[in-house]
Every structure is written in structure tokens, then in C-alpha cells.
């Protein structure tokens, strides 16, 4: 990966930002568990100027809420053709697919994984996906895998420690 290459991070949701379990209450409401470390990684990437997108095959109010909390730039739910959506996003941003990092966990993610400049998968992703990506996390989906991959991307582009220091200084300044 070349310096300053990644301009867009695209994430699958179920099995990447969550552990992949679907908790559906008797009232039909779907519940998901997100890891705060993944959220901090997304916040650091956004602070560095990287755009964030979530593309998922399911629709869930909890995903919508989490995306809003993290100020995700693009959220697409109920998507069967992730390639088409990715093409729309890169066209909107006027960037190359080589400037995209994608993280997915299952076979429906393979078409996008094969298109982008850098790809990753959680430790518990499908074997065929793990064989196809640039990086396999040491963590399972929903347990910090996104954070680890984002830290790698950021470390290639900037001095990570300096970025964290700037982030903390800006956060402290904004709260005063």
C-alpha cells in the first residue's frame, strides 16, 4: 500500500462491525452489538479525512443509529449488489477503486474485495474470504477487527502516534 492511498473505507456490517448474530425480539425488533473500539477506529479515520461507508444486505434501525452516531458518510442498507453501490460512491467522490479499503466476511463480499486497493476480513470470516483479502485481523467480527484494520491503513498513511495526539488535542479543545 502506498502512502496516502486510502480515501474511502467501506465496511460490511453483519459479521464485520457486529459478531454476525441476529437477535430478533418477539416484537420483531432486531438488536445488534457493536464494539466501541471499532467506533474509535472509524472516528480516527474520519479525523484524518477518510470517508466512511457501510454497505449491508440487511435493513436495521440499530445500524442506522450506529452509523449516525459515527457520522458515517454513506449508509446503504438492503443491498444485494455491493459492486454497484461502491461504483456509485467512488464516482461521487471522484476516486479510484485503488483508493478504497473494504472489509467483509462472507462470500457476498468477494466481488467487492477483488476490486479494491486494500481488503481485510475478520478472523472468523469464511475461509474463501480470508484467502482473498490483503489482511486478516487477529480479532473476530464485532470484536475489534475493524479497529485493527483501520490502524494498519492509518499507519501506512501517517505517523499513527502523531495522529492520535492531534485527535486527542482536538477532542479536548472542542470540549472546553
Does residue 2 lie in a domain region? no
Does residue 3 lie in a domain region? no
What residues are designated binding site for Mg(2+)? 12, 105
pLDDT number for residue 4 = 52
What residues are designated binding site for substrate? 14
What is the tally of structural domains in the chain? 1
Does residue 170 lie in a domain region? yes
Does residue 85 lie in a domain region? yes
Cell of 27: 416484537
What residues are designated binding site? 12, 14, 105
Phi, psi dihedral angles at 120 (to 5 degrees): -150, 165
Does residue 21 lie in a domain region? yes
In angstroms, the Cα distances linking 101 to 50, 87, 104, 108 are 10, 13, 10, 16
pLDDT in tens, 118-152: 999 999 999 999 999 999 999 999 999 999 999 99
Cell of 50: 477518510
pLDDT number for residue 175 = 67
Does residue 44 lie in a domain region? yes
pTM value is 0.93
CATH number at 136 reads 3.40.50.1000
Which residue range is the domain that position 156 belongs to? 8-175
| pLDDT over 80 at 42, yes or no | yes
Does residue 83 lie in a domain region? yes
Amino acid at each position: 500500500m502506498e502512502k496516502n492511498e486510502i480515501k474511502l473505507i467501506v465496511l460490511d456490517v453483519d459479521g464485520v462491525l457486529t459478531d454476525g448474530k441476529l437477535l430478533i425480539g418477539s416484537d420483531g425488533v432486531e438488536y445488534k452489538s457493536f464494539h466501541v473500539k471499532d467506533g474509535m477506529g472509524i472516528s480516527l479515520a474520519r479525523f484524518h479525512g477518510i470517508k466512511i461507508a457501510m454497505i449491508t444486505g440487511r435493513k436495521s434501525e440499530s445500524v442506522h443509529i450506529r452509523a449516525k452516531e459515527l457520522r458515517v458518510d454513506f449508509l446503504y442498507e438492503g443491498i444485494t449488489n455491493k459492486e454497484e453501490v461502491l461504483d456509485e460512491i467512488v464516482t461521487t467522490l471522484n476516486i479510484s477503486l485503488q483508493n478504497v479499503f473494504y472489509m467483509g466476511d462472507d462470500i457476498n463480499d468477494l466481488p467487492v474485495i477483488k476490486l479494491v486497493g486494500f481488503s481485510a476480513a475478520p478472523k472468523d470470516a469464511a475461509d474463501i474470504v480470508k484467502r482473498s483479502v490483503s489482511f486478516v485481523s487477529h480479532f473476530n467480527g464485532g470484536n475489534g477487527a475493524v479497529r485493527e484494520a483501520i490502524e494498519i491503513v492509518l499507519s501506512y498513511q501517517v505517523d499513527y502516534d502523531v495522529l492520535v495526539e492531534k485527535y486527542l488535542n482536538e477532542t479536548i479543545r472542542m470540549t472546553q
